[in-house]
Structures are given as C-alpha cells and as structure tokens.
Amino acid sequence: MNIVLIGYRGTGKSAVGNLAAKKLGMKCVGMDAAIEERAGMPIPEIVMNEGWPGFRDRESQLVRELAAEDGLVIDCGGGVIERPENIEALRKNSVIVWLKASVSTIVARIESSTNRPALVEGKTFIEEVSEVLERRTPRYRSAAGFEIDTDTLTPEQIAERLAEIYRRG
C-alpha cells in the first residue's frame, strides 16, 4: 500500500512526504524530481521542448510505474489529476490524500519559485493560482480519500496525520 499526496504547488507535499516516509519507514518519491532526473533537464525545459502534453505523458508513464510498487509515499506534481487515468492507476494500491491550502498561503509559499513555467499566460501570479486552483479543486476532491488543510499546520503535524491515516488503512 502506498500513500499518494496530491494538491497544488505549495501545499507541502514534498516536505510532508519526506517526513511521513521517515515516520512510517517508507520511501518517498517526488514525481517532479524523478521526471527531471529521467529527462536530464528541469521541468521548464521539458515544457519548452515538448509542451505541457509531453510533460504530462512523462508524468503518466511514471504514475503507472509507481502505482505498481508498494510501500511508497508518492509526492505527485500538482497537475497529476489532469488525467483521470493517473488517478485510476494510483487508486489501485494507494491511499490518496489531498493536501490543500488557501490561495494566499500558496502564493506566500511559492511566489519566489522559478522551477515551474506559467500554467495560464497573461495573468498575474495570484490570478493564475486562483484560476488553476478553482479549476482543479473538484478533481482533487473527487480523487482523494482524505483531505488535510495545511494552512495552519506544521509539516510535522501533517506528517503525523498522514501516518494515522495510513495506519488505519
């Protein structure tokens, strides 16, 4: 059984994934980092060279591989829910947890990040986050078996909640 973390950028998936994995004696796999490693280039370069569909193809391939493994905490990229087949594959052997946060919290956490290209051209950063989050929220909600609001929790508190969820099965 795996733990799959979904949610928008800046909701704490990477930090919490590593903490939860240590707490449970599991391995944490950061999907974005794994995609970059396999491609030999950062995500902005992948998107520049292959477009978002090319990146999503790489993401879907990795989802299929990770879903077949056991004992992982999988830190998914924020857009993994864009393709229903990704969620179908992950559900087979995983507890899916949506880490969520408010737009203001997300913006405060990631506004200085340069590791991802824009998802919506011609918008301010706050407008982009708001628009994409609004569109993705129903997908996150339907994919997740559990939701954790990360606005006021520390990564350690969130990791403990994940461990409790996992132990309950």
Nearest C-alpha neighbor of 126 from the set 107, 153, 98: 107
CA distance 26 to 17: 10
Least confident piece of the model among 121-125, 129-133, 135-139: 121-125
CATH of 2-168, one of 3.40.50.920, 3.40.630.30, 3.40.50.300, 3.20.20.60: 3.40.50.300
How confident is the prediction for the chain on average, in pLDDT? Answer: 91
Give 111's pLDDT tier (boundaries 50, 70, 90).
confident
- Mean pLDDT calculated for residue range 23-43: 96
Phi, psi of 129 (to 5 degrees): -60, -45
**Is residue 84 packed enough to be buried (19+ CB in 10 Å), middle (13-18) or exposed (0-12)?**
exposed
What is the percent of the chain where pLDDT is above 70?
93
Residue 31 is predicted with a pLDDT of 97
Residue 109 is predicted with a pLDDT of 82
Least confident piece of the model among 18-22, 61-65, 94-98, 100-104: 100-104
Q: What are the structural domain ranges in the chain?
A: 2-168
Give 120's pLDDT tier (boundaries 50, 70, 90).
low
Nearest C-alpha neighbor of 97 from the set 46, 158, 18: 158
Sign of CA dihedral 131, 127, 56, 16: negative
- What would the 3-class secondary structure string for 29-92 be? EEHHHHHHHHHCCCHHHHHHHHHHHHHHHHHHHHHHHHHCCCCEEEECCCCHHHCHHHHHHHHC
Distance of CA 15 to the CA centre of its chain: 11
Least confident piece of the model among 21-30, 99-108, 117-126: 117-126
Residue 128 is predicted with a pLDDT of 82
Give 114's pLDDT tier (boundaries 50, 70, 90).
low
Nearest C-alpha neighbor of 70 from the set 9, 14, 29: 29
Q: What is the dihedral angle through the alpha carbons of 31, 34, 40, 44, rounded to the nearest 10 degrees?
A: 20
Give 126's pLDDT tier (boundaries 50, 70, 90).
confident
85: pLDDT strictly greater than 90: yes
Which residues pair with residue 75 across a beta bridge? Answer: 5, 30
